[in-house]
Amino acid sequence: MPGAPEMNFVFTVCDNAANESCPVWPGQPMTAHWGVPDPADVEGTDAEKHLAFAEAYRMLNNRISIFISLPMNMVDKLALQKRLDEIGRNLPKAG
């Protein structure tokens, strides 16, 4: 799309997105799937819904914190892509 901003990184977060084709992003950014359960799908009490949103926020906040601490100027592109994928797979669930 003409005039669209170019992105360096694109992260998909919906658990359903992993099975869908991703669009082509201008500038060929690095991509990773950091799926989290969709809190909008939770049925139950207001407290259960609130907990689902809080958990999604916690998971994404942790992943973003790890991402921004990566030494991007010291890691080659392949190693960085591997690390981005690992961030999405290896965070423990709340217990």
Task: For residues 19-27, give the mean pLDDT.
Answer: 70
- For residue 95, pLDDT beyond 50: no
In a domain, 39, yes or no: yes
What local confidence, expressed as pLDDT, does residue 18 receive?
Answer: 54
In a domain, 40, yes or no: yes
Task: Provide the whole-model pTM.
Answer: 0.73
Buried b (16+ CB within 10 A) or exposed e, 47-79: eeeeebeebbeebeeebeeebeeeeeeeeeeee
Q: State percent of the chain over pLDDT 70.
A: 84
Which range has the top average pLDDT, 14-18, 23-27, 79-83? 79-83
Which range of residues forms the domain containing residue 47?
9-90
In a domain, 30, yes or no: yes
In a domain, 31, yes or no: yes
In a domain, 42, yes or no: yes
In a domain, 95, yes or no: no
- For residue 44, pLDDT beyond 70: yes
In a domain, 3, yes or no: no
Nearest to 84 by CA among 21, 20, 29, 23: 29
Beta strands 9-14 and 30-36 are parallel
16 vs 26: which has the higher pLDDT: 26
Question: Residue 39 — pLDDT band, cuts 50, 70, 90?
Answer: very high
In a domain, 25, yes or no: yes
Which range has the top average pLDDT, 4-8, 52-56, 67-71? 52-56
